[in-house]
Structure 1
């Protein structure tokens, strides 16, 4: 059985160890949820790395052939795709059920409709989400990290305050790993009538590129009013986070240490992507300005991986999703206090991405480039204006820090694109050529 699972897991899009041999796979936990459905926690060792993954294992065969696309081996398949079995997850949360070491819980006062059937969303890379009807979305965290997931921690706390701009949580599933409660899944409100922020921004950019109107503010798909509202919502989320969780300040010497750490990361990234070396001086200058003017910086809980793909526009509001922090980072780092300007910088970088990524391979790329720059600047400034109007801290002295945080994000993006999407590499590279 373990050999079968090892051969299968290596090819899953959510498996973090692709390209490296699996030295050992063990079944750490095996719980029967209902007949024909087992919940497994797998321990996978690759060299010095040890990771855990969860799997809903369907047993007893698939006589209909419905699950051939998620077949693991003779008689076994990935049952996250089996709506006849995944109803047990809603049932368990509704009833606060314990099954072996698994604890299924619901939010106080939450009334869960257990009659709904699930459908797997197909777009995710690191998790698997089940949509129940048009009411709930249950995210299964495939790769397990001991501890409470920051998303569950944050949305539960914000929901208790009746905070706006979040998808209402309904329940979660947990177990103990290494002696600490560990989140396996979280169920939230499914925003069936909402539109993805990234898709809305791209529609605006496409409209601009196709328009005879040369100005981004005059094109039919002007996005700047939405960017302003998103800025307001971002400030309000930051205010709620500061009121809910502890806050602190980063002393001037700690700010300088942060800059030194980022200098080292820059050097490492230049070694990995030599092309970055031509622009390293721009990053170093931004870092040096922070070191020269270092002052106490307010820090708090933040989103940590903030961009247009993490926000949804409902008919009435902007909703912020996925408070997990940066994927792949240690849990303590994702929960650490940080400047809220880190989120602001992430969104500003996302506007640049939205404006420029459609130019890749475009026959009129050179002609359209000035429009891309104008669109990005218009929406960046609108977002910042909304952030200030919503109560976000954005003082004159913060401009230096914000610029440095953008550079940190762009350096990270260079490494990501070089490893995963080389054709997108010019997008973060452009960040070092623009003087702001």
Structure 2
């Protein structure tokens, strides 16, 4: 199969123009005018290529070529079309674009497939406008409860239902009926890390998406005068936090990959120069591909935090507000991807994903696989997000070969 480089050079700038900023970034939030224009123009381009197009009830966009022998078996590929605020032009949208380019090339080269080939530009994944994530993929499987979004609004106070209505969609009264025709889902995505680039590899074959546990922790001590309170009398919550942070990170480093641990937000109170901080609120984000190890490690962290606070006469409240299990990819599809990479002499690696993707919603429902391409410098969610064109082309080619195996062969 010939290179997709010229196809990418023609279509990526076009799709990136919807919601583009002067600095090269993209802001394309769910149900915004920029989002709607991108979806409508994408629909028009696919129609010109002979794909049957449609929107579902929430704005997921589909383009399909019906199968000649097994039309009821759908091989689906794509990713989300929305972006973060001032994000890059690859995260999400390139997976949707690649699915279209791959299906278009397959159709022109081999004609109609045995199984139905379908691409999807998922309405939303990021949660950048409204406090809800995976709206697009969750609705495909009836996992999105309309009541969860019926009364939420964006930062400007615009209700979710109003924004949805202005784009021509209406919030359903009950969860949508799950699709039962999807046989396989394949997603192509930039890595958003630097592992592939560091090892000078073209393709990542993802074996699992990490599980995540997230906490908000509140430490309660005593605010007091910074000058007249002796060190031995203090109940300093920043001191307690610093001990927790240092001990926890040392423990994470000792455990090693693929565990990662992040203290991402720290808010001492009263947060002024001459007062001992009586309260400190902070977050913890811990990820691992093994559910049992993730639970065991974070259990140790909880015990360590309580011990430190007991030693320092500090109160502690621990809120575990996210507990997402790791999501393995389908082993048969992983093996098939490996075979393709080997036959094409691609420099690839088996790896896990440290970030969340739509594939984690699909994988518990249908056989799913996720393909990574390198990210220059590991930069993502940033206008500087970039991948070399040869690596983008290798990614689309790998996707196309995988879709050929799934849709054109018995």
**TM-score of the alignment, normalized to the shorter chain, above 0.5:** no
TM-score category (smaller protein) = under 0.3
Q: What's the TM-score once normalised by structure 2's chain length?
A: 0.25
How high is the TM-score relative to the length of structure 1?
0.24
Q: More helix per residue: 1 or 2?
A: 1
Which of the pair has the greater relative contact order for Cα pairs under 8 Å at 6+ separation? 2
